[in-house]
Amino acid sequence: MQEERQQRTERTSRQRDTKQTGWQLVAVQSISCVAVILIVLVFKLIGGSAFSQLRDSFNKSIMSNSLLATLAAMIDVPDEKNEDDSSVTQSSTQESQSNETTSTQNSSSDPSSTASETNTTQTSETSASTTSAVSSSSTAVATGGQDISVQGKVEYAPAGASFVPLKVNRLAIQPLESGKVTSLFGYRKNPITGIESFHQGLDIAVERGTPIAAMFFGVVNEIGSNAGYGNYIKIYHGNGIEVLYAHCSEILANEGAAIRAGEIVAHAGSTGDSTGPHVHIEVTLDGIAFDPAGIVDTGYYD
């Protein structure tokens, strides 16, 4: 009998200790959360640069964690329509800049280009057939952009661009509900100047005012306007990837704002060097322009 009483007493004391420990843990976590909330509110009430620095640090910490950005891109989608539009799942590997500078090149048939073969980036045999200047159409073609100047057409990308396919491990939201591709990534005759140049992005003709959606979760890195791009917005998506949308009629997001995948950030227009309403999409990795067709499903805009 005494042994049974001792066992019951031990079990009862253990249960009490466990309950006390659980309540203590909850209390500590609650106090910590309240303290963090109070600190943020104090910063916000103070205003000025303190709250801006706190917000920027929070955004940078989010974007430095690719796993968190990936989860946010997959989970935080505003509506099912945009989710259904994203039809391409990208693979998880990325080509580095160092790989392309050490790879072999296919020489151009132009004798004047042989002297610069040792300084070129990786060649793609298929790039020559996919760099048509503007798709043929019975209607006026809407295109434009801020191209890279080149000295004659060659079969490798100039400095600041690459033909190496860019692949990401996130599901991209289609940036436009509809449209028509009017100019691909690569060499073309500039529609404004008529000079041979290198188009750093992808042009999709749309109606003026068409909503432009962010393809991934990210942070607005820059908004502005210039003669080439017109009104533009740059969104940083982590891991060195940045997407620019140009020739906008209106920018809706503020610089430094955290953007959800599928969120409308601008409206299409024809500002800057442009022959008509369209969206210029430019994708860069560590400052190097890559073919947006690696992320944007161009077949969707035929």
179-230 per-position pLDDT tens digit = 999 999 999 999 988 899 999 999 999 999 999 999 999 999 999 999 999 9
In a domain, 73, yes or no: no
Higher model confidence: residue 78 or residue 170?
170
3-state helix, strand, coil in the chain (%, to 5): 35, 25, 40
My answer on whether 25 and 87 are in the same domain is no
Range of lowest pLDDT (8-22, 47-61, 109-123): 109-123
Instruction: List Cβ neighbours of 286 (8 Å cut-off, separation of 6 or more).
Output: 97, 240
pLDDT of residue 11: 58
Do both 39 and 91 map to the same domain? no
Same domain, 126 and 237: yes
Residue 184 has a pLDDT of 95
The more confidently predicted of residues 163 and 52 is 163
Which CATH number characterizes residue 286's domain? Answer: 2.70.70.10
Instruction: Note whether residue 75 is domain-resident.
Output: no
Q: 55-64, 85-94, 240-249: lowest mean pLDDT where?
A: 85-94
11-34 pLDDT, tens digit each:
555 555 555 666 777 788 888 888
pLDDT for the residue numbered 154: 60
Instruction: Kindly give the residue spans of alpha helices, DSSP state H, lying in the chain.
Output: 2-46, 48-63, 66-75, 80-85, 97-102
Share of the chain above pLDDT 70, in %: 56
Residue 295: per-residue pLDDT? 93
**Residue 172 amino acid letter:** A
Percent of the chain scoring above 90 in pLDDT: 42
What's the pLDDT score for residue 125? 37
Compute CA distances 55 → 62, 108, 158, 238, 257, whole Å: 11, 50, 38, 16, 9
Reference 208, options 266, 258, 153; nearest CA is 266
Indicate whether 48 and 89 sit together in one domain.
no
| Domain-embedded: residue 78 | no
Number of separate domains in the chain: 2
262 shares a domain with 129: yes
Mean pLDDT, residues 73-80: 44
Given a cut of 50, is residue 105 above it in pLDDT?
no
What's the mean per-residue pLDDT of the chain? 73
* Same domain, yes or no: 39 and 152: no
Tell me, yes or no, whether 145 and 273 share the same domain. yes
Structural domain boundaries, residue 15: 2-67
**Domain-embedded: residue 128:** yes
Residue 36 is assigned to a structural domain of this protein: yes
Burial of 287 (0-12, 13-18, 19+ CB in 10 A): exposed
Task: Specify if 238 maps to a domain.
Answer: yes
pLDDT attached to residue 98? 39
Say if 111 falls within a structural domain. no
Is the domain of 147 the same as that of 293? Answer: yes
8 Å CB contact between 153 and 187: yes
Residues 18, 126, single domain; the answer is: no
Within-domain flag for 263 = yes
DSSP, res 67 = H
134-146 pLDDT, tens digit each? 333 333 577 666 6
Q: What is the pLDDT of residue 33?
A: 83
Answer yes or no: is pLDDT of 103 > 50.
Answer: no
What pLDDT, in 10s, does the model give residues 255-264? 999 999 999 9
What pLDDT sits at residue 32?
83
When mean pLDDT is compared across 59-68, 120-129, 162-171, the lowest value belongs to: 120-129
Same domain flag for 43 and 164: no
Given a contact cutoff of 8 angstroms between Cβ atoms, the answer to whether 100 and 127 are in contact is no
pLDDT of residue 122: 39
Residues 63 and 87 in one domain: no
Residues 57 and 90 in one domain: no
Decide which of 14 and 43 is more confident: 43
Among the listed residues 233, 213, 238, the one whose alpha carbon sits nearest the alpha carbon of residue 78: 213
